[in-house]
Amino acid sequence: MKLTARLAGAAVAAMALVVAMLITAPPAASAQLTEVTGFGTNPTNLRMHLYVPDGVGTRPALLVAVHYCTGSGPAFYSGTEFASLADQYKFIVVYPSATRSGSCFDVSSPQALRHDGGSDPVGIVSMVRYVQQRYNADPARTYVTGASSGGMMTNVLLGAYPDVFKAGAAFMGVPFGCFATTDGSSWNSTCANGQLIKTPQEWGDLVRAAYPGYTGPRPRMQVWHGTEDSTLRYPNFGEEIKQWTNVHGLSQTPSMTDQPRSGWTRTRYGGTGTTVAVEGISLQGVGHSLPQGGMAAMVLAFFGLDTPGPSQTPTSTPTSTPTGTPTVSPGACKVTYSMNTWNNGFTTAVTITNTGTTQLSSWSLAFTLPAGQAITGAWNATVSPASGAVTARNVSYNGTLAPGASTQFGFQATHNGNTAAPSSFALNGAACTT
């Protein structure tokens, strides 16, 4: 089948997608979607639209939201919930627009699949750099999501630019490198039909080869797919999970499986909390029509953007207490920090015990990671930034800590040979014993 015919079919699917996605109006705020030009290196002349909420903080998070074939940045802005959620949680959203025939993004050329190789990914990264410089956006809280062609681009950006993006959420995507072609075409039928099957190691090697010599932390990945997807077929969902668990050095056996909604099966790898290294959501009976209502909020929870960022909430330190946080007397807390290390990574179990006489309704634990260590995923807490002086904050279900009670969270991290533990901890601003 010729590419034009395929794109015509994609257009029909996209129209259905737009109808399914038009579940919210643009946010009722004075902030407006604006087009930005001259944002940096842009080899394929992508267009950039930007949404900056009213009241955004001094160090905001940044989300790149990438549209489907035949779509545009403004259409993805109007048809998804990310802008209204940005108003609520005060992060900035970039909406790129593809300029090729069919308005699909390049996820297949050799240039697109190599770090700084050229094509669409370079233009998108330029948009990110522009917002980081112009609005002081936080590089440690820079994320990407997308649907269909945008879901494929999410995989590409996380694979080729692990130094830029901390996590991604791909709706109806395919693994990094799955759509690769060398004949100048932009369609790969074998991949689209779910017939390109590789071992986890082979998929992981494709990602590692995209940025030779990179040894830093890898982005976390959340993938969504409907079992009845006839455009980018369902087997791609399993291949994405194989790829990203391998990239993170994890087993393909889930750490947790549940059903957050009827017909949904969620699997988590590398932990059981909300911000694990890899998460997959399989949707029984759903076709090529994602995201749907409420899914954007689950993306934000996976990213950790559903809580105030450091520009809205003061960070705990051993010498100060955040405003409104239950106080802890010095020495009225104990921390146990247990590490399981391997050649270039480790997991940590952290136990906090309230040894005081006052019940806590919320908690934050501040500590400094030794040089060369960087967090790639956490469970039972939100932890930011990824390195240096970090703060772990309770999630919705474990904020209460009665006198004598304990709670535990954990995280996975990389290291460069330094496997030392933090030298001190502070709970809600007060030093703890270890």
Mean pLDDT by 10 residues, the chain (434 residues): 43 43 44 95 98 94 97 96 95 97 94 96 98 95 98 98 98 97 85 97 98 95 98 98 97 94 95 95 97 95 81 37 49 85 83 88 89 86 86 82 86 89 88 90
Token pair, residue 389, equals 């002086």
CA-closest candidate to residue 171, choices 72, 271, 280? 280
Classify residue 201 by burial, with Cβ atoms within 10 Å: 0-12, 13-18, 19+. Answer: exposed
Token pair 């705990």: residue = 316
Whether residue 148 lies in the annotated active site:
yes
82-89 vs 295-303: helix axis angle to the nearest 10?
50
Residue 309 is predicted with a pLDDT of 58
Q: What confidence tens digit (pLDDT) does each residue in 165-206 have?
A: 999 999 999 999 999 998 777 889 999 999 999 999 999 999
**Dist. CA 189–CA 178, nearest whole Å:** 10
Token pair, residue 383, equals 């932890």
Residue 315 is predicted with a pLDDT of 33
Phi, psi of 314 (to 5 degrees): -60, 145
Residue 83 is predicted with a pLDDT of 95
From the candidates 72, 109, 148, 316, which is the catalytic residue?
A: 148
Residue 430 is predicted with a pLDDT of 84
Instruction: Count CB atoms within 10 A of the CB of residue 31.
Output: 16
Angle at CA 240, nearest 5°, toward 218 and 41? 55
**Dist. CA 341–CA 412, nearest whole Å:** 10
| Helix residue ranges per DSSP H, 22-140 | 73-79, 82-89, 119-135
Beta strands (DSSP E) in 148-235 are: 167-171, 220-226
Residue 359 is predicted with a pLDDT of 87
Residue 326 is predicted with a pLDDT of 53
Q: What confidence tens digit (pLDDT) does each residue in 210-265 have?
A: 999 999 999 999 999 999 999 999 999 999 999 999 999 999 999 999 999 999 99
DSSP string, 372-433: T-EEEEEESSEEESSSSEEEEE--TTS--B-TT-EEEEEEEEE-SS--PPPS-EEETTEE-B
